[in-house]
């Protein structure tokens, strides 16, 4: 029955999967805390306008991929396809302009109706950061390098490549827009229908086209770097020098763009070849015009988001950090329960064997990756003691029950 299967594009996180996910999320949170970030939790659905404004009315996400619902009151709500819009909305609706600068971290599920593939689901998870209130290359250097340090902390520093580009300031973007239209217009009839529509509304988005014919046309298009103002060029030069100074390797990719008008200056992606075609694992950029476009005060911002599923695939298996102690009662189960409760109250993880012979119980302890087994035999119990077997060294010793907690905490 279809109802007994997960919905296409969703998946269950079983304990091993969940441990990898939690490792990625917790590594991100512990890392960004060193940079002064606090966690923000926004709703998983917002009024549709929040995303339509921020992602662009003509973007693929808005036109094809959002999960949107009509409420009884006639309002349209959407499951969040990304995290930045919700954070920007929260900034405005909670009146946080007086608290600038703000450093905010988020994590949680996102939703996009797209074709499921390796590392990409319709319900997926992200961790992300938003740094609001500072319009300075130093903020960009810190934010980009923080993304690299996060990937390093996961052991992925040598598996990713940082691709970097500048989108310039408003004057640079306007000059580039005009140059791009002048180049593309003679090829209008050869562009895909979607790119022809974008050419008039948002020509930079033609550069993102996946159509093979469009790609050939775009290959010789002018570059943003050809249209930079001196101040925009200086901004980018400071970013590149700053990353070099702190040892963050990068390559400049002049074709890396963001199509919406509120993006400016820095755009970056961390990519890998280990996941096939879908190689981006963390991406971000500067968006100084976003909050103003949403109706809030003009507020500079920069941030990034990373896909937890993709990073989990790269990280691989994660061993449990809190290995339990297995209690194997050989006849006195009630006393074993009392002992297990006492050990748990002291902060020790306990796996209690309920049934089966000694061989089966020991096998379960091994499967649980227990660090030790406490054997409660009738003879030991009569002496007020238990046998403790260290499963790493194989050593075995008898320990008085009133010293058992102390003994296990010391190991």
**Mean pLDDT, the chain, whole residue set:** 89
Which regions of the chain carry the CATH code 3.30.930.10?
Answer: 9-169+229-315
In the DSSP assignment, the letter for residue 7 is P
Lowest-pLDDT range of 2-11, 238-247, 266-275, 400-409? 2-11
What is the band of 347 on the pLDDT scale with cuts at 50, 70, 90? Answer: very high
Peptide bond into 101 cis (omega under 30): yes
Enumerate the known binding-site residues.
82-84, 112, 126, 130, 258, 262-263
Region 330-340 average pLDDT: 79
What local confidence, expressed as pLDDT, does residue 316 receive?
80
How high is the pLDDT of residue 3? 62
Instruction: Give the pLDDT score at 278.
Output: 60
pLDDT at 1 over 90: no
231 and 169 in contact (C-beta within 8 Å)?
Answer: yes
Copy the structure tokens of residue 280. Answer: 């981006």
Of 204-208, 234-238, 271-275, 290-294, the range with the highest mean pLDDT is 234-238
pLDDT value of residue 346 = 93
As a whole-number percent, the residues of the chain with pLDDT over 90 amount to 53
Closest CA to 162 of 256, 231, 97, 81: 256
pTM for the model stands at: 0.87
Q: Which distant-in-sequence residues (6+ apart) come within 8 Å of 229 by Cβ?
A: 168, 169, 171, 172
Q: Which of 116-120, 222-226, 290-294 has the lowest mean pLDDT?
A: 116-120
To the nearest whole percent, how much of the chain has pLDDT over 70?
Answer: 94
Binding site per annotation, positions for L-histidine: 82-84, 112, 126, 130, 258, 262-263
User: Is residue 369's pLDDT more than 70?
Assistant: yes
pLDDT at 210: 81
Fold of 9-169+229-315: BirA Bifunctional Protein; domain 2 (3.30.930)
Instruction: Please list the residue range(s) of the chain that carry CATH number 3.40.50.800.
Output: 325-409
Lowest-confidence pick of 116-120, 128-132, 176-180: 116-120
**Long-range CB contacts (< 8 A, 24+ apart) of 46-51?**
46/77, 46/78, 46/80, 46/85, 46/86, 46/89, 47/75, 47/76, 47/77, 47/78, 48/76, 48/77, 48/78, 49/76, 50/78, 50/85, 50/86, 50/89, 50/294, 51/78, 51/80, 51/81, 51/82, 51/85
In this model, does residue 279 exceed pLDDT 60? yes
Q: What is the mean pLDDT of residues 199-220?
A: 85
Of the two residues 354 and 49, the one the predictor is more confident about is: 49
CATH label, 325-409, candidates 3.30.70.980, 3.40.50.800, 3.40.50.1980, 3.40.50.2300: 3.40.50.800
Q: What is the mean pLDDT of residues 383-398?
A: 88
Give yes or no for residue 155 having a pLDDT over 90.
yes
For 40-64, what is each residue's pLDDT tens digit? 999 999 999 998 877 766 566 666 7
The answer, yes or no, to whether residue 14 has pLDDT greater than 60, is yes
Of the two residues 341 and 369, the one the predictor is more confident about is 341
What pLDDT, on the 0 to 100 scale, is given for residue 375?
87
Strand order in the sheet with 350-352: 350-352, 325-329, 372-376, 385-390, 396-400
| Helix, strand, coil share (%) of the chain residues, nearest 5 | 45, 20, 35
Question: What per-residue confidence (pLDDT) applies to 332?
Answer: 63
Query: What average pLDDT score do residues 296-306 get?
Result: 96
Answer whether residue 2 shows pLDDT above 60.
no
- Given this model, what pLDDT does residue 272 score? 92
Of 63-77, 88-102, 129-143, 213-227, the least confident: 63-77
CA distances (Å), 224 to each of 172, 204, 260, in order? Answer: 8, 10, 14
Q: For the residues 343-351, what does the mean pLDDT come to? A: 92
Q: Which of 193-197, 274-278, 281-285, 384-388 has the highest mean pLDDT?
A: 281-285
Q: Between 354 and 408, whose confidence is greater? A: 408
Per-residue pLDDT tens over the stretch 234-253:
999 999 999 999 999 999 99
Largest CA distance in the chain: 94
Alpha-carbon distance 128 to 104, whole Å? Answer: 8
Predicted pLDDT at 119: 67
């Amino acid at each position: 029955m279809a109802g007994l299967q997960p919905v296409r594009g969703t998946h269950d996180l079983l304990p091993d999967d969940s441990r990898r996910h939690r490792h990625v999320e917790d590594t991100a949170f512990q890392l960004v805390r060193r940079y002064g970030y606090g966690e923000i939790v926004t709703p998983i659905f917002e009024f549709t306008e929040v995303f339509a404004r921020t992602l662009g009315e003509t973007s693929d996400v808005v036109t094809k991929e959002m999960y949107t619902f009509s409420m009884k009151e006639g309002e349209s709500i959407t499951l969040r396809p990304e995290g930045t819009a919700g954070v920007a909305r929260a900034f405005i609706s909670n009146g946080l302009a007086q608290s600038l600068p703000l450093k905010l971290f988020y994590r949680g599920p996102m939703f996009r109706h797209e074709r499921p593939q390796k590392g990409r689901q319709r319900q997926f998870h992200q961790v992300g950061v938003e740094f609001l209130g500072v319009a300075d290359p130093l903020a960009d250097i810190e934010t980009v390098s923080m993304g690299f340090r996060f990937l390093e902390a996961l052991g992925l520093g040598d598996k990713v490549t940082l691709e970097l580009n500048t989108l310039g300031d408003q004057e640079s973007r306007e000059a580039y827009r005009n140059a791009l239209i002048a180049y593309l217009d003679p090829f209008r009839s050869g562009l895909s229908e979607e790119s022809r529509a974008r050419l008039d509304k948002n020509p930079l988005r033609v550069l993102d086209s996946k159509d093979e014919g469009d790609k050939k046309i775009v290959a010789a298009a002018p570059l943003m770097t050809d249209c930079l103002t001196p101040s925009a060029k200086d901004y980018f030069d400071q970013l590149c020098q700053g990353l070099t100074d702190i040892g963050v390797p990068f390559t400049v990719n002049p074709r890396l763009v963001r199509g919406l008008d509120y993006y400016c200056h820095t755009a970056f992606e961390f990519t890998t070849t280990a996941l096939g075609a879908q190689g981006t694992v963390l991406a971000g950029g500067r968006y100084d015009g976003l909050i103003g476009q949403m109706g809030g005060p003009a507020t500079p911002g920069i941030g990034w988001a990373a896909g937890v599923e993709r990073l989990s695939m790269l990280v691989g298996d994660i061993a449990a950090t809190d290995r339990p102690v297995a209690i194997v009662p050989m006849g006195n189960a009630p006393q074993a329960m009392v002992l297990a409760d006492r050990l748990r109250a002291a902060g020790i993880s306990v796996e209690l064997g309920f049934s089966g012979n000694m061989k089966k119980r020991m096998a379960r302890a091994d499967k649980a990756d227990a660090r030790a087994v406490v054997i409660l035999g009738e003879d030991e119990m009569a002496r007020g003691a238990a046998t403790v077997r260290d499963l790493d060294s194989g050593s075995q010793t008898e320990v008085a029950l009133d010293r058992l907690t102390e003994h296990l905490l010391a190991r």
